[in-house]
Amino acid sequence: MLLNMDSLTQTEVFADILGSELLAGSLLINIALAGLTLLAIVYLARDVEDTRSKAIILSAMLISVVSISSYTGLLSGVTVSYLEMPAGHALAGEEVMSMWGRYLTWAFSTPFILIALGMLARSDKVTIGTSVAFTIAMNVTGLAAALTTSSVVLRWFWYVLSSVFFLVIVYIILNTWTKEAEEAGTSDIFGKLKILTIITWFGYPVVWFLGVEGMAYLPEVWMSSWAYSLLDVVAKYVVTILIVQYVAKGHDAVTGGDDYGSV
Ligand code: RET
């Protein structure tokens, strides 16, 4: 979606998004799925009493709370802008639709995925906090990469920085939490979630690289938007349902007992 205009009003951006059925569809499907996931959580977790189990479920729930808001922001045009790409970019000089709200809101949604995973592995607060800090850093630098219009070199510098932060998270999941989950007796569920998370999370930087923000090998915005939407289905909703189903069964390995969380 390319336009040669300096700036568009939100109404015009909204009209552009609705004007592309494929683009609007990729956003609407996520609004619907996030809503359905929230309803499913309420149903699956209806009998959970244990406080630690509730904390894990709450964290999983907040992933969809952020997601439904994030996609509403994109659909309405609040978090979408047309940006002129710098010299050296594949679309240099053109006004490109940037759905930058994604990267901003991932800074709020991915911490909840990591908190739920870390708690399932019965990790400690410092390690979970580290993963949260690095995912925020990863997404804010990813946002900076998308919004940088001064220099193509700086866009890629942000991208590399973001990727380094990503590797810290990958290390924590594959190394620290994998060992801790074994000790805690949650390897069965953690192993499944780990595979789904690692594979899908690596997809996001690939889509960024291939899409209009990167090399523009996927020349239309709806293409990367659908790719992100499909990654989200697994990285968020499938992962959420697996977590809530497991925790709701009341395994001793995840419960906290009567005093958990009391002060
Ligand atoms: C960016 C671009 C810069 C390099 C890297 C990225 C990684 C993004 C990831 C996003 C995961 C998002 C999820 C969202 C769920 O709500 C920012 C694309 C490394 C890993 C799981």
DSSP 95: E
What gap in Å lies between CA 256 and CA 247, rounded to an integer?
A: 11
200 CA to centre of ligand 1 in angstroms: 9
> What pLDDT shows up at residue 2?
54
50 CA to centre of ligand 1 in angstroms: 32
Residues ≥6 apart with Cβ < 8 Å to 140:
103, 104, 107
Mean pLDDT of the chain: 95
202 CA to centre of ligand 1 in angstroms: 8
pLDDT > 90? residue 88: yes
User: What is the residue-wise DSSP string for 28-65?
Assistant: HHHHHHHHHHHHHHHHHTTT---HHHHHHHHHHHHHHH
Q: Is any atom of ligand 1 closer than 6 Å to the C-beta of 122?
A: no
**Length of the chain, please?**
263
pTM: 0.95
Q: Is any atom of ligand 1 closer than 6 Å to the C-beta of 148?
A: no
Q: Which atom of ligand 1 lies nearest, measured to the CA of 138?
A: 17
95-119 pLDDT per residue, tens: 999 999 999 999 999 999 999 999 9
113 CA to centre of ligand 1 in angstroms: 12
For residues 71 and 34, the answer to whether their CB atoms sit within 8 Å is yes
Q: Is any atom of ligand 1 closer than 6 Å to the C-beta of 166?
A: yes
